C-alpha cells in the first residue's frame, strides 16, 4: 500500500508547531467542532476555509467531538485537509443525557407543545442535549483539558477574510475572555423562564457580578428583563478558564438544576452571552470585526476599506446594522 497520506502530512518537516506562533510565544489553543458524521461535507468546507484564511500559517489543532464515534471516513477526510493535529473525541454519556432531576414525561410534553407552536427545534431532544453540552460540558472534555483558548467552528460556515495575526495570542496578550462576530435577538418562546432564573442566580451569588459588568448589553431595564440580545455562539473565540471558573460553573449548574434546557429550549448562545455580560467587563469582550464570517443566513463582513481588501464578502449584505442585530447596542454601550 505504500506510505499513507496521513503519515506524509504528519512528517515533522511539513508539520508546523501546533501551539507556536511567529514570535515563538505559546498559546494553548484549539478549534473545537461538535458535529455528526453526516455533516462531513460541511465540516470539510469549514476547515478548508479556516486553513486557507488563517490556519495554514499557524497550525492550531482541531478537536472534533461527537455523541457517536466518528467513522474512519470522517477522520480521514478531515485530517487530510490540514497539517495540524486532529483529535476525535466521544462525548461521555453523562454529558449527553437527562440528569436525574429531570422529569422526562414533563420534558416530552413540553417538546410536543413547542413543536405544535412551530418553535424552531422545539420538538428535538438531540438539539437540547447539544445546547446543554455546548453550555456546560465541551470545555470539560478530556481532549480539551490541555487548552486555555478555543475557537468554536461549525459545519458549513464560511470565513471571508485573511487573518494575518493570531487571534488566540491577541486574546491572551490583551486579557480578552470572549470574542464574537455576530449578535442578534433570541426567540422569546425558547426561553420563557430563563431571565427569572438568572435573576434568582444574581440574588444568590452577588459576589460574582462586578460593578462594571455588561448587563446593559442583555437588559434595557437595568436587569429587570432580558432584551433577547446574545452573541451567536456558532462562532466564539474564548478563554476556557473563564468557563471552567467558579462563577460560570455555578451559573451553569444553577441553570441546569432548573431544568430549562429540557422543559424549555434554552440555547447555549443566550446562556454564554448572559454569563459573559454578568461576569465580564467590556474590555474583556472582543468584537472580531476583521473576521468576515457566515453561518446560515447571517454574516458579518468588515466595512472598513482597509479590512475589506483581504475579504471576499459584501459589506453591504452584512447583518450588523439590520433590525434583529444587537450590534448597535454593543457599539452604544
Active-site positions?
236
Indicate the SS3 state at residue 295.
strand
Measured over the CA atoms of residue 279, residue 283, residue 288 and residue 289, the dihedral's sign is: positive
Positions touching Mn ion (CB under 5 A) are 154, 234
Q: Is 44 in the site for ligand GDP (CB under 6 A)?
A: no
Q: Is 79 in the site for ligand GDP (CB under 6 A)?
A: no
Residue with smaller CB distance to ligand GDP, 38 or 212: 38
Answer with the entry of Mn ion, ligand GDP, none that 158 interacts with (C-beta below 5 to 8 A by kind).
Answer: none
E runs forming strands in the chain: 29-34, 62-66, 86-90, 149-152, 158-159, 178-180, 183-185, 229-231, 236-239, 285-287, 293-295, 298-300
Q: Is 34 in the site for ligand GDP (CB under 6 A)?
A: yes
Q: Name residue 286's beta-bridge partners.
A: 179
Residue with smaller CB distance to ligand GDP, 233 or 258: 233
Q: Do strands 149-152 and 236-239 pair parallel, antiparallel, or not at all (unpaired)?
A: antiparallel
Q: Is 85 in the site for ligand GDP (CB under 6 A)?
A: no
Q: Which of residues 234-273 bind ligand GDP (CB under 6 A)?
A: 234
Residues with Cβ < 8 Å from 235, sequence gap 6 or more?
152, 153, 157, 180, 181, 182, 291, 293, 295
Among 4, 25, 97, 126, interactor with ligand GDP by CB under 6 A: 126
Given the rule CB under 6 A, which of 33-41, 196-204, 214-222, 285-293 is the region that contacts ligand GDP? 33-41
Q: Is 130 in the site for ligand GDP (CB under 6 A)?
A: yes
Q: Name residue 294's beta-bridge partners.
A: 158, 299
Q: Which residues sit at the interface with ligand GDP, rule CB under 6 A?
A: 34-36, 39, 66-67, 126, 130, 154-155, 234
Amino acid at each position: 500500500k505504500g506510505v499513507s497520506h496521513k503519515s506524509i502530512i504528519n512528517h515533522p518537516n511539513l508539520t508546523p508547531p501546533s501551539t507556536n506562533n511567529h514570535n515563538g510565544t505559546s498559546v494553548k489553543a484549539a478549534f473545537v467542532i461538535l458535529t455528526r458524521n453526516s455533516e462531513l461535507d460541511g465540516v470539510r468546507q469549514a476547515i478548508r476555509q479556516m486553513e486557507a484564511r488563517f490556519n495554514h500559517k499557524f497550525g492550531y489543532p482541531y478537536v472534533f467531538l461527537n455523541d457517536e464515534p466518528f467513522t474512519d471516513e470522517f477522520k480521514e477526510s478531515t485530517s487530510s485537509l490540514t497539517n495540524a493535529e486532529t483529535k476525535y473525541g466521544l462525548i461521555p454519556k453523562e454529558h449527553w443525557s437527562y440528569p436525574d432531576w429531570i422529569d422526562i414525561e414533563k420534558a416530552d410534553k413540553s417538546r410536543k407543545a413547542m413543536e405544535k407552536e412551530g418553535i424552531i427545534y422545539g420538538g428535538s431532544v438531540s438539539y437540547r442535549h447539544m445546547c446543554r453540552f455546548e453550555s456546560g460540558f465541551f470545555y470539560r472534555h478530556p481532549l480539551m483539558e490541555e487548552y486555555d483558548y478555543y475557537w468554536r467552528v461549525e459545519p458549513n460556515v464560511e470565513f471571508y477574510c485573511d487573518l494575518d495575526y493570531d487571534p488566540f495570542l491577541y486574546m491572551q496578550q490583551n486579557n480578552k475572555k470572549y470574542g464574537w462576530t455576530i449578535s442578534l435577538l433570541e426567540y422569546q418562546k425558547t426561553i420563557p423562564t430563563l431571565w427569572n432564573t438568572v435573576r434568582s442566580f444574581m440574588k444568590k451569588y452577588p459576589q460574582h457580578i462586578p460593578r462594571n459588568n455588561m448587563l446593559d448589553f442583555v437588559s434595557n431595564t437595568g436587569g429587570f428583563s432580558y432584551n433577547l440580545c446574545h452573541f451567536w455562539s456558532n462562532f466564539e473565540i474564548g478563554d476556557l478558564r473563564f468557563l471552567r471558573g467558579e462563577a460560570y460553573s455555578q451559573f451553569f449548574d444553577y441553570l441546569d438544576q432548573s431544568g430549562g434546557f429540557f422543559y424549555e429550549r434554552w440555547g447555549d448562545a443566550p446562556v454564554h452571552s448572559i454569563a459573559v455580560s454578568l461576569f465580564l467587563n467590556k474590555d474583556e469582550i472582543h468584537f472580531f470585526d476583521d473576521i468576515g464570517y457566515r453561518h446560515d443566513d447571517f454574516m458579518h463582513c468588515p466595512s472598513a476599506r482597509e479590512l475589506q481588501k483581504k475579504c471576499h464578502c459584501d459589506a453591504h449584505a452584512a447583518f450588523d446594522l439590520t433590525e434583529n442585530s444587537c450590534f448597535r447596542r454593543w457599539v452604544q454601550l
